[in-house]
Amino acid sequence: MHCKSRLALCLALTFTPLTLQASELDELRQQLERLKQQLNLLEQKIELQEQQLTVQQQSIESVEQSSTEVASTLASLEPATASSDGISLGGSIRTNYSHTSYSDGNKNRGGDFAFDIFRLNLHGSIGDVLLNAEIRFFDYMTAVKYAYVGYQLNEDWQVQAGITQVPFGNWPYNSHNYFFSTNYYIGLEDDHDLGILFKRRVKDNWQLDLAFFKNDELGGVDGYVSSRADRYSYDVVGFRLPGDGIYDDPTQPLGEYNTLSGRFAYHFDHREGFTTEIGVSALHGGLHDGLSRAGNYNAWALHLNSHFDRWNLQLQHGEYRYHVDGMDRMAVGSYAFFDSIAAKAKTSTLNLAYSLPIEWGPVTWMQFYNNYGLVYDKSDNTADTWMNVTGFSVAAGGFFTYFDLVHARNQPFVGGSASGDSNDTERRFNINIGYYF
């Protein structure tokens, strides 16, 4: 519009007669000046309106984009309408570096780096039946850690049948490090046997786990396996006569059977970010030599697991006993080799950990810990077994890594045996790197 006004003014001036008087020319000049001012104001208003229109259009586009993002986010939060049936496959590949005080060759080489395990996990459900399984492949053996089906009986109770975890002690682990605690090597941490487990979820601040295990995960004393040491969990596989070596294959086989295990825990909610679980566990079962009952075994423990903000404190104390006439030392098997433990002993553990969520490149989480365990008052009168692990773990994408400095005495995998009688303290620096998928 303002261009047309300028054109009309120019035409008018072009055809104006030259005979106009001076006063008329002055008046025309004043009118022209006023028109120019009005045109300038009009141009400024039009320009301002165009700017406002552009801003409004940008705002509308921004709102539309935000609405689309919100709608997409809400859609992702909606529960799936399709069936969730299906079995997912996962696993990990782990490698290990160690530098030890008890191997001259290892020290001379500056430590050793080796393949640890390849692991596959199955998890999911078909209909109302759950499935959980894990198989581990080592260079020297293949072992099933657990494999069970489950069913949710009602809102509070779940049943699991198959190779499932024995409910005992701080759950699911009484440790934070790669080596677990001293309890693992006497069969009282992360142990898995073949049977049926009933789990009551936390309700009204308490929970209860009850289980019956027919035998160990390899089928008991006469299970059809190439070696009763090819297993993940530590179990008794025989007893030791005077003169038997600590690491010998047991010549007097035994197997656990008909074991009852129970774990009761009460949860205290002190305040937001501060909770404590106090519990008691017990188990009792028989020992069979392949022909008849040869004895029995039992264990009990008191345990505490407390979380305060980023801190975690675990305490546990207990006792175990294998009753076989005249025997004060038992043979155990795991990780493709045999070891020995006292037939009776007390055990105590103290663990402290601090978790730290961070954003440092791919690193999203770290945990610093110190775990201490002691096995003492042994029936075979051997020296105490103790282990202290100071270290930290790191999560970065699909990687999870343990950095552990271990000091121990008479401890398996740290230069000793749980039935050893050494006074030497051994050291092991260990890095375990795992990629999980």
Of all helices (H) and strands (E), which one includes residue 160? strand 157-165
Confidence category of residue 85, pLDDT binned at 50, 70, 90: confident
The residues, ordered by sequence, that sit 6+ positions from 6 with a Cβ below 8 Å of its Cβ are 39
Q: How many CB atoms lie within 10 A of CB 55?
A: 10
In this predicted structure, which of 10-19, 22-31, 316-325, 408-417 has the lowest mean pLDDT?
Answer: 10-19
Please provide the DSSP assignment of 366-416 as one string.
EEEEEEEEEEES-TT-PPPEEEEEEEEEEEETTEEEEEEEEEEES-TTTTS
DSSP codes, 72-115: HHHHHHSPPSS---EEEEEEEEEEEEEEESS-HHHHHHT-EEEE
**190/177 Cα distance (integer angstroms):** 13
Average pLDDT over residues 2-8: 41
**What's the average model confidence in pLDDT over 352-372?**
97
Q: How far apart are the first and last CA of the chain?
A: 68
What is the DSSP secondary structure assignment for residue 223, as one 8-state letter? -
Q: Which helix (H) or strand (E) holds 240?
A: none
Distance CA 38, CA 93 (A): 80
pLDDT score, position 203: 83
Laid out side by side, the sheet with 337-342 consists of 235-239, 329-334, 337-342
Same domain for 184 and 290, yes or no, is: yes
Tell me whether residue 23 is in a domain. yes
Is residue 51 pLDDT above 60, yes or no? no
pLDDT in tens, 148-162: 999 999 999 999 999
Instruction: Provide the pLDDT for residue 10.
Output: 37
Mean pLDDT, the chain, integer: 87
Residues 213, 113: one domain? yes
Residue whose entry in the numeric block shows the structure tokens 């941490």: 189
Is 269 domain-assigned? yes
Count the Cβ atoms, other than its own, within 10 Å of residue 226.
Answer: 7
Given a contact cutoff of 8 angstroms between Cβ atoms, the answer to whether 194 and 223 are in contact is no
Domain end position, chosen among 30, 52, 74: 74
My answer on whether 111 and 40 are in the same domain is no
Residue type, 183: N
Residues in the chain: 437
Q: Are residues 115 and 263 in the same domain?
A: yes
- Final residue of a structural domain among 24, 44, 74: 74
Question: Does residue 259 form part of some domain?
Answer: yes
Q: What percentage of the chain reaches a pLDDT higher than 90?
A: 78
CA gap 420, 10 in Å, rounded? 114
Considering the domain boundaries, does residue 308 fall inside one? yes
Q: What is the CATH number of the domain that holds 109?
A: 2.40.160.10
Residue 79 included in any domain: no
Residues 33 and 132 in one domain: no
Helix or strand (DSSP H, E) at 59: helix 22-77
Domain count along the chain: 2
H helix intervals, 296-351: none
Tokens (6 digits) for 292: 């008849």
Chain segment 193-238, per-residue pLDDT in tens: 999 999 998 888 999 999 999 999 999 999 989 999 999 999 999 9
What pLDDT, on a 0 to 100 scale, did the predictor assign at position 202?
83
* Cα distance between residue 149 and residue 128, in whole Å: 10
pLDDT at 48: 47
Maximum C-alpha span of the chain: 144
12 and 110 fall within a common domain: no
- Token pair 């030392």 is found at 329
Domain co-membership, 19 together with 121: no
Asked if the structure places residue 125 within a domain, the reply is: yes
Give the separation between CA 355 and CA 387, rounded to whole angstroms.
Answer: 22
- For residue 418, pLDDT over 60 is answered with yes
For 350: left if phi > 0, alpha if psi spans -120 to 50, otherwise beta; the answer is beta
User: Average pLDDT, stretch 408-425?
Assistant: 97
Residues 153 and 254 in one domain: yes
Q: Are residues 348 and 278 in the same domain?
A: yes
Residues 202 and 166 both lie in one domain? yes
**The two structure tokens encoding residue 395:** 């999560």
The verdict on residue 80 lying in a domain is no
83, exposed or middle or buried, with CB in 10 Å at 0-12, 13-18, 19+? exposed
Q: Which residues contact 155 (CB under 8 A, 6 or more apart)?
A: none
Dihedral of CA atoms 100, 103, 104, 108 in degrees, nearest 10, equals -50
Residue 83 lies in a domain: no
Question: Using CA atoms, how far apart are residues 231 and 192, in angstroms rounded to an integer?
Answer: 10
| Residue 179 phi, psi (nearest 5) | -90, 5
Q: Note down the domain range covering 246.
A: 88-436
Question: Does the pLDDT at position 65 exceed 80?
Answer: no
pLDDT digits (tens, 9 = 90+) for 394-407: 999 999 999 999 99
Q: What is the pLDDT of residues 263-285, one digit of tens each?
A: 999 999 999 899 999 999 999 99
Q: Are residues 64 and 146 in the same domain?
A: no
Q: Give yes or no for a contact between 413 and 381, defined as CB atoms under 8 angstroms apart.
A: no
Task: Select from 133, 140, 90, 134 the least CA-distant residue to 115.
Answer: 140
60 plus 111 within the same structural domain? no
Of the candidates 74, 109, 129, which is a domain's last residue? 74
**Closest C-alpha to 299, from 163, 169, 145:** 169
